Amino acid sequence: MTSKVIYQGQLRTENIHLRSGNTFLTDAPLDNNGQGQAFSPTDTVATGLANCMLTVMGIKAQQMHVDMSGSYAEVTKTMASDPRRISKIDVHIVMHLKTDEKTQKILEHTARTCPVLFSLHPDIEKVVTFNWN
């Protein structure tokens, strides 16, 4: 088992990673009867894409003896209705790393082949951009 999700009431869940004991809350968004005081479940999906991209890039960067510490992603999730779903995820990755074009292409390709990207429904539009500082 990977995790345990406990419904706390008032459209809030507590999520426990069983191996580490780390936790986080989710809250229904304001536009869907919630308090909007934490990540919504769909926020965690969109944010998970950026987490996955940066993680696999970090693995590849370590293999290449490249330090990408301080790099980050900005995520924008767009919702659709009927049925309510994620329609688009924009991920803008800012790389705090000066490197050659070959390394940039390798890391960008690595991000675009992360497991979460391949796990998302093909109807979800995914827009991924990179800014190399």
State pLDDT tens for residues 49-93: 999 999 999 999 999 999 999 999 999 999 999 999 999 999 999
Tokens 């790099």, residue? 71
Same domain, 62 and 107: yes
The domain of 15 spans: 1-39
Same domain, 69 and 89: yes
Same domain, 51 and 105: yes
What is the domain count for the chain? 2
Band of the pLDDT at 27, cuts 50, 70, 90? very high
Same domain, 68 and 121: yes
Same domain, 17 and 55: no
Asked if residues 36 and 27 have their Cβ atoms less than 8 Å apart, the reply is yes
Report the mean per-residue pLDDT for the chain.
Answer: 97
Separation CA 5–CA 23 (nearest Å): 10
Rg, the chain, Cα only: 17
42-47 contact pairs (CB < 8 A, 24+) = 42/77, 42/79, 42/86, 43/77, 45/77, 45/86, 45/120, 46/75, 46/76, 46/77, 46/86, 46/89, 47/75
Same domain, 50 and 17: no
Same domain, 31 and 49: no
